[in-house]
Structure 1
Amino acid sequence: VGGTYTKPVILPPQIVIGALGKIQKLPRYDADGNIIPANLVSVSWAADHRVVDGVTMAQFSNLWKYYVENPNHLLI
């Protein structure tokens, strides 16, 4: 509870499972080189590679990240 990083474990009959760490406010640079506070969260995925390959999981993870960062696109 409240950890910054998690490692999900697949239990039968699961095929894929995801885990979210806690949201952290950390300093990051914006496009102009200024330091701004950014809310960051770690995400981990585990998959049964007999069913889902790593490329598919990476594509899904990138799409999931896109929708988390751009929730208005879920409405289109």
Structure 2
Amino acid sequence: MAARQAKTRAWWDTAAARYDLFVSDLVIEERSAGDPSAAQERLDVIDTVPLLETPDDETRSEVENLSSPPGGR
């Protein structure tokens, strides 16, 4: 577990130089869970990363109804 966390931390430390980063409400929720001090550290890493807008229910429904290729989803 610690090795995976270290890899993730290293990725976040260098990713902004290679990618346009965005986070969603789900990422914020996931990073907020668990030990409060650890959660704050996780949130601090993404505090300058733009937040994606949460789609409204109608948009979400349209996306869910899109066809997927065979074997997709």
TM-score, normalisation: structure 2: 0.18
Task: Name the structure where helix makes up a greater proportion of residues.
Answer: 2
TM-score, normalisation: structure 1: 0.18
Task: Name the structure where strand makes up a greater proportion of residues.
Answer: 1
